[in-house]
Amino acid sequence: MNKVILADSQAIFRAGTAKVLAMDEDLRIIAQCTDLERMYHAITTFPGSIVLFAASLLPDFTRLGMLLETTNSRGIVIAENNDNPATYLQQGFRGVVFRSVTSPGLIECVRRVAAGDSWLPTQAAPPESPEEDMVGARVRDRLTPKEMRIVALIVQGCKNREIATRLKTTEQVIKNYLRSIYDKTGVGDRLELALFTIHHRVLAKAAADVGNKMEAENQAVRQAPNQTAPGAVA
């Protein structure tokens, strides 16, 4: 049984990664960390682990490398799509995956590193360009503006109650919308919806744009509290 420490501040990606790794009987997630200090503590507490961590946490790579070495652990970097993966191997880490990694690719990387090998993505370039993401574009065009607002909040990690509060409606209304969204995207739950959105760049960009617009609207409301909040779901 290989022990895995998972460290990433992005809740949706972390949950999706944990779900994928849990399907492998030889892998056991012993800690999930949202920041560097928790990760350092977990590495010290559970020596001999595979440490899958996000580069976006911005660790001191020298310090982290020394800690991994002294605890007989191995590091795998979750890189952003514009990163050069080879630089992480040069710093002593044993594997690199992009956030766009497929489930089989992630499992294979962890298995190879656990066996003492190194792993580098075969495709170092970012995933398909927006012009090529026909699936994401088709789903984006099928979603209504109200559904897209809900998708944007799901990607941010919001629960149904919080979404209902943000959109001035009820949880039941949100559940009804989610059933429609699941049908249009072909997913089965909110986690799959978030991961589907993240991995389709056109849809992810649309959700991010809507999320930014909603945040701007919320800021305007806070500055003028007597105004009615815009963007409410009917």
CA gap 29, 18 in Å, rounded: 7
Cα–Cα distance, 36 to 54 (Å, whole number): 10
| Res 212: pLDDT | 85
pLDDT value at residue 87 = 92
Buried b (16+ CB within 10 A) or exposed e, 75-88: bbbbbeeebebeeb
- pLDDT of amino acid 168: 93
Quote the strand ranges of the chain, DSSP E.
2-7, 27-33, 50-54, 74-79, 95-98
pTM: 0.66
Q: Which domains does the chain have, with CATH numbers?
A: 2-114 (3.40.50.2300), 130-223 (1.10.10.10)
Q: What is the pLDDT of residues 180-234, one digit of tens each?
A: 999 999 999 888 888 888 778 788 889 888 988 988 888 888 777 555 555 555 5
Q: Find the helix or strand (DSSP H, E) in which 152 lies.
A: helix 145-155
pLDDT in tens, 48-78: 999 999 998 999 999 999 999 999 999 999 9
The closest alpha carbon to 31, from 63, 59, 13, 8, belongs to 8
In this structure, the number of other CB atoms found within 10 A of the CB of residue 227 comes to 10
Query: Whole-angstrom Cα distance, residue 203 to residue 104?
Result: 23
- 189 Cβ neighbours under 8 A, 6+ residues apart: 182
Question: 10 Å Cβ neighbour count for 41?
Answer: 13
